[in-house]
Structure 1
Amino acid sequence: MTYIIENAHILKDKELTINSLLIQEDKVSANLTHSKQYQFIKMNLEPYIMTPSFVLLNSNISPKITHHELKQLFKEQFLMKGSTTLFTHVPVSYESELEYKVKGMKTALISSPIDYIIGIKISLRHLTPSLIRKCKKEKIPAIFVEIGEHDDFMGIPWGWIREAMFPYNCPLIPIISSSKKKEAKALLSNWKQIILQEKIPAIDEEISENTPISKKVLNKIGLYPQKSSLMNGTELSYNLYFKEREINNVDEADLFHYHGDRLVITVHKGKIVRVLNEVLFKPGFGEYVTVRTPSFFSL
């Protein structure tokens, strides 16, 4: 079906732009300056603020999670908050574990109503060029590296790591060990210095859980503009908030954290999945997202 979304007040970087979107086969086919000359069915969104749906990191999902627990998690932590993409990771101690652990998580999420992307988590001490090459072969979009001590940085063959990452270049993402949170600032400072000096594709900060991941980070992972975007050619996944004066100058993260009560509709790939306080749960509607080229898009 082809139709036009008219008068969409799209929020981007604290600014509202009024636009019209031509929709074809549940994708944004074009952003239109003028839509009057088109004879398609039109949907007027003037009363709402529109945002792309959110991508959230959640590391508390285990392949052993029950179906009931998973359903509640997707409803309460994702769909009710306007997120239609889960980003998670599996812990890996050795290269030989990688394939079956990722496969186990995929199996656990096969009935997911939202899309999902799976990285791995490994101790920085166990990061090797061989593991990187395995990740590259399996198209693992991100490697979370747990940092526990300043000594963890010692002895890492950074030059070989960089060579092994090329040309896929899935980013390394730091996680400060829970026992070392008081030293997080110093450890992250050391991390930033090394990745800059060694020219390692990486994120320089930890990614906060259960908060919208920024476009900058999504781009490094390779999810933007495939996700969290309303550009031409992207999937039609968005949120509609009741428009109020006090939320005209906020960003997407503020809407997520402080104005969730005004979220009325969430659409995932052209299908409504939440209306007011009702979730239209669609088991298996979600898909595993394969990242073909991290950092492909220039912001």
Structure 2
Amino acid sequence: MVYIIENANILKDNQLQRRCLLIKDNRIASIRTDVSQYKWMKMNAEAYIMTPTFVLLNNHLPSKGTFQEIKKYMTDTFLIKGCTTILTCVNVSYEKEILEKLREMKTALMGSPVDFIIGVKIPIKLLTQSLIRICKRERIPAIFVEINKVEELEMIPWGWIREAMFPFNNPLIPVISSKDKKEAKDILNRWNMIMIKEKIPCLSGELEENEPLSAAVLNKIGLYPQKASLMHGAEVSYNLYLKAREIKNVDEVSLFHYHGDRLVVTIHKGKVIRSGREVLYRPGNGEYVKVKTTSYFTI
């Protein structure tokens, strides 16, 4: 099916850009400023602010419970907020657990209404060349590394780790488990010094759960521009917020936190997920997203 979304007010870099989107086979085939010469069916989005749907990190997905309990959690945490993709991770204590825990997580999320991507979370002592090779082979896009003391960072052969990561280069993401604020700051400072010196793909800080992940983060883990973007070739997944003067110059994160009452439409891969106050819960509509290339796009 081919159609046009015209007069779309796309929020980008805290400003609204008026564009027209040519949609073909649930992909954005073209983005233009004028489509008056085309005769396809048109949808006027002038009354709305358009954003990509959000990607959230969540490591507390319900694996047990009744259908109604799971439905309520997934609806309240993700769907009602315009999130159609989640990043979660499995906790790994031993290298040989990785494949089994990945299978368990995929099975648990078979009924998910949103797309999902799975990383692994490990104590730093488990960060070895062989573990990196398993993650690379399985196309695991994010490795969360739990660090308790700054001294732990000095015990890792970082040069070997960098070599093992190439060419997939799935980023390392710090998780600071120390409760002491000064020690946590020291750990993060030392982490960044080592990552820069050794040229290791990484994130410079921790990720907050249930917060929209930025394009820079999504790019590093290989989801951007496949997800959370309104670019040529991207899937047709977007949110529509009622336009208002007070939300003219805000960013997507502010819309997510403070203007959820104005979110009226959520589209996920061309299908309506939310219309007005009604959220359409489709169990099993979500898919496991397998990343092919990390840091694919230059931001």
Tell me if both proteins adopt one fold, taking TM over 0.5 as the criterion: yes
**1:185-244 superposed Cα distances (whole Å, 9 cap, x missing partner):** 221111111100111100001111111100000000000000001111110000000000
| Mapped partners of 2:231, 2:85: distance in 1 | 17
For structure 2, the residue ranges without an aligned partner over 5 or more in a row are none
Residue in 2 that maps onto 1:257: 257
Residues 291, 65 of structure 1: alpha-carbon distance in 2 compared, 3 angstrom cutoff: farther
TM-score w.r.t. the length of structure 1 is 0.97
Q: How does 1:231-270 map to 2 (within 5 A)?
A: 231-270=231-270
SS of the equivalent of 1:249 reads coil
Residue in 2 that maps onto 1:186: 186
Which amino acid is 2:46 matched to? E
Q: How does 1:225-236 map to 2 (within 5 A)?
A: 225-236=225-236
Residue in 1 that maps onto 2:47: 47
Residues 69, 189 of structure 1: alpha-carbon distance in 2 compared, 3 angstrom cutoff: farther
SS of the equivalent of 1:43 reads strand
Q: 1:125 offset after TM fit, Å?
A: 1.7
Residue in 2 that maps onto 1:289: 289
**1:35-77 superposed Cα distances (whole Å, 9 cap, x missing partner):** 1110000000000000000000001125446544332221001
Residue in 2 that maps onto 1:131: 131
Residue in 2 that maps onto 1:111: 111
Q: How does 1:1-299 map to 2 (within 5 A)?
A: 1-61=1-61, 63-64=63-64, 67-177=67-177, 179-181=179-181, 183-299=183-299
**Amino-acid identity (%):** 59
| Mapped partners of 1:66, 1:159: distance in 2 | 47
Decide whether the 8 Å contact of 2:149 with 2:178 is kept in 1: no
Q: 1:154 offset after TM fit, Å?
A: 2.1
Which amino acid is 1:179 matched to? K
Q: 1:183 offset after TM fit, Å?
A: 3.0
Which amino acid is 1:143 matched to? I
Q: 1:85 offset after TM fit, Å?
A: 0.2
Residues 210, 23 of structure 1: alpha-carbon distance in 2 compared, 3 angstrom cutoff: same
| Mapped partners of 1:185, 1:245: distance in 2 | 40
| Mapped partners of 2:84, 2:218: distance in 1 | 14
SS of the equivalent of 2:89 reads strand
Decide whether the 8 Å contact of 2:62 with 2:70 is kept in 1: no
Q: 1:178 offset after TM fit, Å?
A: 5.8
Q: 1:278 offset after TM fit, Å?
A: 1.4
Which amino acid is 1:246 matched to? E
Residues 131, 268 of structure 1: alpha-carbon distance in 2 compared, 3 angstrom cutoff: same
SS of the equivalent of 1:101 reads helix
SS of the equivalent of 1:206 reads coil
Residues 178, 102 of structure 1: alpha-carbon distance in 2 compared, 3 angstrom cutoff: farther
